[in-house]
Amino acid sequence: MNKTKRFKLIVITLIFFVLIFLIISFGEKEAEENVKEKYEVSTIDTHAKEGYQELEKLEEEYKGYKIDSRLEIPKINLNSYVLEEFSTKSLLASITKYYGKEANKPGNYCIAGHNYGPDNMFQNLKELEIGDKIYLTSKNGIKKEYDIYDIFKVYPNDTKCLSQKTNGNVELTLITCTLDSEKRIIVKAREYEE
């Protein structure tokens, strides 16, 4: 065999082995991605069975205030950030965390908001009924579903609705004023369980 033919044979053999190597590497990478994708889906499915699902992380700020969670109430078309800071000024920007544990953790997460203003406020809270759904997404992107189990009015000095005694349950309390500001409308909800 002459040198030219031998050189061509070596080049063709090298190209063949490089192609085989690339095909095998690509197949392993694709298999790895499939396993990863299946794992992520099964993790989300497991979380969904536990009453929550993973979502994108929330924005960090809204109108200059740190965001603590996001509240959604489909019945009244409410989709609003819940701000960390409770103050006269922050209440003009959005609803705020008033009191309680972390969002979507055992305890009573209390949210306050005005009964007037833009769409991200509580002016339609009075339209809610027992059994309506509420969704809360925490800062780390976990979204949980809640069912309303009680609605009532109290005088401003009655703070029993803020109690953290929930027997280990995950609860929400939504608070706003009546139109005359004489009382507070309280909406209580518990994490949905099948």
Is residue 35 located within the same domain as residue 85?
A: no
Q: How many CB atoms lie within 10 A of CB 134?
A: 25
DSSP letter assigned to residue 75: G
Is residue 29 located within the same domain as residue 84?
A: no
Is residue 143 located within the same domain as residue 86?
A: yes
This model's pTM is above 0.75: no
Is residue 19 located within the same domain as residue 65?
A: no
Is residue 75 located within the same domain as residue 44?
A: no
Is residue 38 located within the same domain as residue 86?
A: no
Q: Distance from CA of residue 78 to its chain's centroid?
A: 14
- In tens, the pLDDT along 29-83 reads 454 454 344 333 333 333 333 444 444 567 788 899 999 999 999 999 999 999 9
Domain total of the chain: 2
DSSP letter assigned to residue 92: H
Q: Taking Cα atoms as reference points, which of 51, 72, 52 lies closest to residue 132?
A: 72
Q: Taking Cα atoms as reference points, which of 101, 103, 99, 100 lies closest to residue 71?
A: 103
DSSP letter assigned to residue 177: E
Residues of the domain holding 23:
3-49
Is residue 83 located within the same domain as residue 139?
A: yes
- In tens, the pLDDT along 145-166 reads 999 999 999 999 999 999 999 9
Is residue 154 located within the same domain as residue 113?
A: yes
| Strands 61-62 and 107-112, bridge-based pairing | unpaired
Q: What is the rounded distance in angstroms from the CA atom of residue 6 to the CA atom of residue 112?
A: 83
Is residue 64 located within the same domain as residue 89?
A: yes
Is residue 108 located within the same domain as residue 12?
A: no
Is residue 174 located within the same domain as residue 83?
A: yes
Q: First-to-last CA distance in the chain?
A: 78
The domain that holds 185 is classified in CATH as: 2.40.260.10
- Look at residue 145 and give its three-state secondary structure: strand
